Amino acid sequence: MTVPPPIAMLAELTHRCPLACPYCSNPQDLLGREAEMTTAEWADAFRQAAELGVLQLHLSGGEPAARPDLAELTAAAQGCGLYTNLITSGIGLTPKRLDALEAAGLDHIQLSLQGTTAELADWIGGYKGGFDRKMKIAAEIKARGIPLTLNAVMHRHNLDDLERTIEMAVEMGARRLEVACVQFHGWASRNRAQLLPTRGQTEAAKRIVSEAEQRLRGVLAFDFVPPDYYADYPKACMGGWGTAGLNIAPDGTVLPCHAAQTIPHLDFDNVRSKPLAAIWYGGAAFNVYRGTDWLPQPCRSCDRKDTDFGGCRCQALALAGDAGATDPVCRKSPRHQAVLELLEAGGSRADTAFVYRTAAG
């Protein structure tokens, strides 16, 4: 296949974060501050990304505001012509830091929402007072007119508040709401039994989003990521492996997706020691599941293979023990029974305590 250049890059600037969300997609082996790339190393990675063809840069974490050089990094990315999106919980942002980010040319903020009340949000985020601080910074973002997406990570414990979540997005002046049902990678995989929504919640969420999309046309746009396990077919994870985007971990490891390090047989290159273009086009980890030639049956003979590329590799590993298998979410997968069994068992431990994400040093 002809390999296209990536459109988007997610820069995990740090794994450090004041919150401890049990649905965190960061790996269970978190990197500490000492492993993180320096300002100059990140700036060089951004320059290489822009030269490679990347248009959008997502500054993420952990909590990217834990990096004191966040404004400097934003300015470096802007200087390369990248569109910059800051993915943040809002904790660690202040009016003064927003001044600096605006001066650096930040294009967009994606603010996470853990819950619609302080009680719920602080319990889910594992951080007392977090909700109130988030609401203050949300008001600042609105007053400044910085383009805002509200990212609501939804699961069993907050999906029933979806209507209020939508109201809050409108009140905050968000232009877009991501109703993102938890994907079970990283820390989230340890909390699957607690977080898995019910089928009833999933169906209700589809109705509520569809009705709100009509009602709020021109006011609020929606991105709805329904829970994978209730779908008939998987999503094209990352828009296809090695096709649309890449991630860089805090230490410079270049990944085809945020959970790729769970796949034990893959070797990953590092942007500190190899040019990004060489990694994207020639890196072994990027080529192993690229395109459709590698697909197993039943994907190989399936007319959806150019739509979903056989689904998510990390999910195939987690549910079928084989990253090269058809994603078991697919109803045609010979391992689909594993998903049905999870759904059957789902809820049995919904009320047990979360395994909160621990702190990265």
| β-strand pairing of 254-255 with 221-225 | unpaired
> Is residue 31 within the footprint of ligand SF4 (CB under 6 A)?
no
Contacted entry of ligand SF4, ligand FES, none for residue 312, CB cut-off 5 to 8 Å set by kind? ligand FES
> Is residue 335 within the footprint of ligand SF4 (CB under 6 A)?
no
CA–CA separation, 120 and 115 (whole Å): 5
By the 10 Å C-beta count (0-12 exposed, 13-18 middle, 19+ buried), 12 is classed as: buried
> Is residue 310 within the footprint of ligand SF4 (CB under 6 A)?
yes
Question: CB 332 → ligand SF4: shortest distance, Å?
Answer: 4
Contacted entry of ligand FES, ligand SF4, none for residue 314, CB cut-off 5 to 8 Å set by kind? ligand FES
Size of the site for ligand SF4 (CB under 6 A): 14
CA–CA separation, 307 and 135 (whole Å): 39
Contacted entry of ligand SF4, ligand FES, none for residue 169, CB cut-off 5 to 8 Å set by kind? none
CA-based angle 323:284:326, to the nearest 5?
Answer: 20
Question: CB 114 → ligand SF4: shortest distance, Å?
Answer: 32
Q: What are phi and psi of 298, to 5 degrees?
A: -85, -5
| Polymer length in residues for the chain | 361
Q: Is the dihedral of CA 334, 338, 341, 343 positive or negative?
A: negative
Cα dihedral 15, 21, 25, 30, rounded to 10, equals 30
Q: What is the token pair recorded at 354?
A: 């979360």
Of 4-12, 59-67, 186-194, 299-307, the segment contacting ligand SF4 by CB under 6 A is 299-307
17 appears as a binding residue in the annotation: yes
What residue ranges bind ligand FES (CB under 6 A)? 185, 237-238, 241, 257, 259-260, 312-315
67: amino acid identity, one letter: R
DSSP 308-337: HTTS-HHHHHHHHS-TTSPPTTSTTSTTHH
Contacted entry of ligand FES, ligand SF4, none for residue 84, CB cut-off 5 to 8 Å set by kind? none
Q: Which of 133, 142, 332, 335 binds ligand SF4 (CB under 6 A)?
A: 332
Of 74-82, 170-178, 239-247, 326-334, the segment contacting ligand SF4 by CB under 6 A is 326-334
The answer to whether 188 and 23 have CB atoms below 8 angstroms apart is yes
Question: CB 257 → ligand FES: shortest distance, Å?
Answer: 3
Q: Which is nearer to ligand SF4, 190 or 235 (CB)?
A: 235
Listed in sequence order, the DSSP H helices in 145-260 are 162-171, 192-195, 199-215
CA–CA separation, 354 and 361 (whole Å): 21
> Is residue 281 within the footprint of ligand SF4 (CB under 6 A)?
no
Contacted entry of ligand FES, ligand SF4, none for residue 260, CB cut-off 5 to 8 Å set by kind? ligand FES
Question: CB 308 → ligand SF4: shortest distance, Å?
Answer: 4
Cα first-last separation, the chain: 42
Look-up: residue for tokens 């930040």? 106
Question: CB 203 → ligand SF4: shortest distance, Å?
Answer: 22
Contacted entry of ligand FES, ligand SF4, none for residue 304, CB cut-off 5 to 8 Å set by kind? ligand SF4
Question: CB 226 → ligand SF4: shortest distance, Å?
Answer: 16
> Is residue 304 within the footprint of ligand SF4 (CB under 6 A)?
yes
Q: Which is nearer to ligand FES, 109 or 314 (CB)?
A: 314
The answer to whether 66 and 16 have CB atoms below 8 angstroms apart is yes
Q: What is the token pair recorded at 112?
A: 């996470």
Residues annotated in a binding site for [4Fe-4S] cluster: 17, 21, 24
Residues that bind ligand SF4 (CB under 6 A): 233-234, 298-299, 302, 304-305, 308, 310-311, 326-327, 330, 332
